């Protein structure tokens, strides 16, 4: 069974630009969650999608958005990038129950 | 609301010694509890989970954790540390939230294993 695939693995962007990150969950998993990981703040919940609907949202500004497609693949977008957006962005999929997450390897975003 | 506290941001043990990583949780409802491990430049990997079936939970790589409701704890242990256990460990709690479930992670404990 293929794991959770995140692309790209690394990104360098300039302040003010926008970026789109992609996540393909495990086949059959309909829930996709996104987390931001930084040394100072740890793992912060961004949002969760289930069957194309945003089910939960964390405390991030509106510059952070996401969506999920009918095949469960998900994208997250960050507009007007700030230096503080530099982080490891992790995608996690689950079957919808409480079996825990399967994480991707993450996308490391650096904003310069 | 759920929350998780991991005691000790860094823990150092000698190879072959007992590993004990502490986690306390707060939840207004019976929680689901998890331990994850993260190796450098990788995502998190599920070590074990508590979902109310048994209080002592065995996971991968020889780790286990015991759910103690009276102490609101879910500490992670391993009898004998190996060099390959050096990583960061995260405790997490999941519970019902508006529209579904939400998982909250602790701040993490970095485990160092000395030869």
pLDDT digits (tens, 9 = 90+) for B38-96: 998 889 999 999 987 788 999 999 999 999 988 999 999 999 999 999 999 999 988 76
Choose, out of A4, A26, A51, A98, the residue to mutate when testing the contact with B (most B CBs < 10 Å): A98
Please judge whether B43 and A106 are an interchain contact, meaning their C-beta atoms are less than 8 angstroms apart: yes
Q: Among A11-15, A56-60, A79-83, which stretch is predicted with the lowest mean pLDDT?
A: A56-60
Distance in angstroms (rounded) separating the CA atoms of residues B77 and A76: 36
Q: What is the structure's pLDDT at B3?
A: 84
Taking the CA of residue A66 and the nearest CA in chain B, the distance in Å comes to: 17
Q: Which residue of A has its CA nearest to B108?
A: A42
What does each C-alpha distance from B40 to A63, B84, B87, B89 come to in angstroms?
A: 28, 12, 7, 11
8 A C-beta contact, residue B11 and residue B110:
yes
Write out the residues of chain B at the interface with chain A, using a CB-CB cutoff of 8 A.
Answer: 32, 34, 36, 41-46, 49, 51, 90, 94, 97-108
The mean pLDDT value for A33-39 works out to: 95
- Output the CA–CA distances (angstroms, integers) from residue B43 to A29, A88, B36, in the order listed: 18, 9, 10
- Quick check: A29 pLDDT over 60? yes
pLDDT of residue B100: 61
* Chain B residues close to A41, C-beta within 8 Å: none
Tokens of B34: 């998890």
Nearest-by-Cβ selection for A100 from B46, B98, B108: B46
pLDDT above 90: residue B24: yes
Tell me the percentage of chain A whose pLDDT exceeds 90: 87
């Amino acid at each position: 069974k293929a794991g959770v695939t995140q692309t790209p693995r690394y990104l360098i962007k300039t302040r003010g630009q926008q970026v789109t990150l992609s996540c393909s969950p495990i086949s059959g998993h309909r829930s996709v969650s996104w987390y931001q990981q930084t040394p100072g703040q740890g793992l912060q919940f961004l949002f969760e999608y289930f069957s194309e609907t945003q089910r939960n949202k964390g405390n991030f500004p509106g510059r952070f958005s996401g969506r999920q497609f009918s095949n469960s693949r998900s994208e997250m977008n960050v507009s007007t990038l700030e230096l503080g957006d530099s982080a490891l962005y992790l995608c996690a999929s689950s079957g919808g129950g409480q079996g825990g997450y399967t994480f991707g390897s993450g996308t490391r975003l650096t904003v310069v | 609301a759920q929350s998780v506290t991991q005691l000790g941001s860094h823990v150092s043990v000698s190879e072959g010694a007992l590993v004990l990583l502490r986690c306390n949780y707060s939840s207004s409802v019976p929680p689901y509890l998890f331990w994850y491990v993260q190796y450098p430049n990788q995502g998190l990997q599920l070590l074990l989970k508590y979902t109310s079936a048994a209080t002592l939970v065995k996971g991968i790589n020889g780790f286990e954790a015991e759910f103690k409701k009276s102490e609101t704890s879910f500490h992670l242990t391993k009898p004998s540390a190996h060099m390959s256990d050096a990583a960061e460990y995260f405790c997490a709690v999941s519970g019902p939230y508006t529209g579904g479930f939400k998982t909250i992670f602790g701040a993490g404990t970095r485990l160092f294993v000395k030869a």
